[in-house]
Amino acid sequence: MAITTCFNITKQLRRIHNRVPDSLRSNMAHGYSPLIAALYAKRIRMLTLEKDEKAEQVLIHASPEKLRWLASRLEAIAAEAEKSGNAHDHLMTEDWGGHELTNELIGNPESREIINHLVIYGHKIEKTGI
């Protein structure tokens, strides 16, 4: 039983190690465990949406990489809306079947909640001759 458990843990660590980007593998060479390096890698790809208790505020926590990615998605929605009149996109956490949003709560767990699904709409508004 103990050998099987050790084998499974080793297998999981290998999977984690394989997910670590090359840029972070040097951290492992400097003594960081594969698990810690993988956690850092997850932070690099972080895009978390939270709301406060009353849903009066939406907070976005994101890495620079994910902010640039979000900007490119917004640009794509804008371009499609200009072309066809309307466009939309869905961003979801893994819990909701997506992969665009992370579901790691960054803010205070007593006053914040994760947003699992974000729909972004783009509409072409025709200018009137006013």
For residue 27, what pLDDT is reported? 45
The secondary element (H helix, E strand) that includes residue 122 is strand 117-123
* pTM score, whole prediction: 0.63
Please classify residue 96 by burial: count the beta carbons closer than 10 Å to its beta carbon, then call 0-12 exposed, 13-18 middle and 19+ buried: middle
Is the same domain home to 91 and 63?
yes
Show Cβ contacts of residue 8 under 8 Å, excluding neighbours closer than 6 positions: none
* E strands, 30-115, in order: 47-52, 58-62, 86-92, 112-114
Is the same domain home to 33 and 53?
no
User: pLDDT tens, 46-96?
Assistant: 899 999 989 999 999 999 999 999 999 999 999 999 999 999 999 999 999
Q: Give me the mean pLDDT over the 88-111 stretch.
A: 91
Is the same domain home to 91 and 127?
yes
Lowest model confidence (mean pLDDT) among 102-106, 114-118, 124-128? 124-128
Number of domains comprising the chain: 2
Collapsed DSSP state (helix, strand, coil) of residue 30: coil
User: Does 7 have pLDDT greater than 90?
Assistant: no
The secondary element (H helix, E strand) that includes residue 83 is helix 64-84
